[in-house]
Structure 1
């Protein structure tokens, strides 16, 4: 598994090796980008999946977590998967398929652009978060409540829905027949069908004139 870090986080990861990010053969569902932002006076770590844009928000990381960053991020992802309904065996299978974690540079502009966009949205609201609270359900609902077309998809939908689709594709979660996403390929076909239908109607009207 690849854990991408921005320059802001690189400064906190003292003496830790930082590798180059994925090549074309890497499974994007096993790649995450992380960035540290401000929410009022609180530090918030945003952890975003590169493939599906599922995002996790954690507050006020303790110094020891920077020292063992990969272990901390694995724990964050594991707990987030539990929060959205995954069983222990499914979570274990995800990490088994993902392989050993390594820290890399961030994975490109698209995920980082999403993180910056979410940061702006978070700062539009006032949050009732306890002083020592590390995880907020409301905040995590907010960071995933945005329609998007993430890196690993051509469809348009919510990040959690895309995350489930990735887990089904990888054989981690049982396949669901229905997904609440918008397929642009289907939309293109529909537009083409509408054009053809309009041509037929126009031809029919013209033929009736004669």
Structure 2
């Protein structure tokens, strides 16, 4: 009786041990994950991508890219030219263009009320450089100071550029003692004290 019980005891627990081993193996297999296979057809659904197509993409990669680029170029060029003409005070319409290749009369410029430097040239409406007419006298002086544009107080002519400047914008050169506007002077910080030098003395 004891011998039969000793034989049946391991047999009674053997199926449970095998089932436990199978469960452990299956759980370890479920924990392993296979790597995701990449799609071999990347361009299959390219139309469903979320890509913003704007004017830049159309001009660079579109069928009518050259046309778009030329339109953008013309529009930008027109904006630049119109802005430059508007700054000069008068938009050029094309009717003012002189047919004479060598104009004999003095070309009027929008900056006629500003004093000019000696030897300064002007750009006419036809795009040619013209010198200021010295026979007509000196240019009309501006109403205000050439530096701060204020019209209050007395103004003195600068010895360098001959433009009128107010007393607060005038400086006296430390070397030659001439009165110059703040545009025609520089301040030398190399010494112990700051020195004001005109354009002639600074060179």
What is the TM-score of this pair, normalised by structure 2? 0.23
Which structure has the higher relative contact order (CA within 8 Å, separation 6+)? 1
What is the TM-score of this pair, normalised by structure 1? 0.23
Higher helix share: 1
Which structure has the larger Rg over C-alpha atoms?
A: 2
